[in-house]
């Protein structure tokens, strides 16, 4: 099942720079793990915001939830999820 995931990072601005960099590095590493596992298919930045749009694939919404909650930045992410269904024109 595919999902369109929009997330905005709400990490408090007063977070120390060292902690911020630790979280960014851990987030990148976890995203690479999810990509290697076939869960994270595509990821785009949203210009002008600390936000992303991602295409994820998971067995069900619970599996997607687990993947998203495994991200180190999860406590500070404002996330919206749209389940995607195949359009009839895409079926062959």
CATH topology of domain 2-85: Alpha-Beta Plaits (3.30.70)
Task: Give the predicted TM-score (pTM) of the model.
Answer: 0.90
Which CA distances in Å does 9 have to 14, 34, 65?
Answer: 14, 18, 17
Structure confidence by residue, pLDDT tens digits, 1-41: 999 999 999 999 999 999 999 999 999 999 999 999 999 99
Structure confidence by residue, pLDDT tens digits, 37-61: 999 999 999 999 999 999 999 999 9
Nearest to 81 by CA among 2, 13, 4: 4
Task: Write down the residue that tokens 């990821």 correspond to.
Answer: 43
Name the CA radius of gyration of the chain, rounded.
Answer: 14
């Amino acid at each position: 099942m595919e999902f369109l995931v929009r997330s905005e990072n709400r990490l408090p601005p007063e977070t120390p720079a060292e902690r911020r960099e630790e979280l960014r590095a851990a987030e990148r590493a976890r995203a690479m793990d999810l990509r290697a596992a076939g869960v994270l298919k595509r990821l785009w930045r949203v210009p002008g915001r600390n936000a992303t749009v991602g295409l994820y694939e998971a067995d069900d919404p619970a599996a997607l939830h687990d993947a998203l909650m495994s991200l180190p930045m999860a406590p500070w992410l404002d996330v919206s999820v749209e389940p995607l269904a195949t359009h009839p024109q895409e079926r062959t």
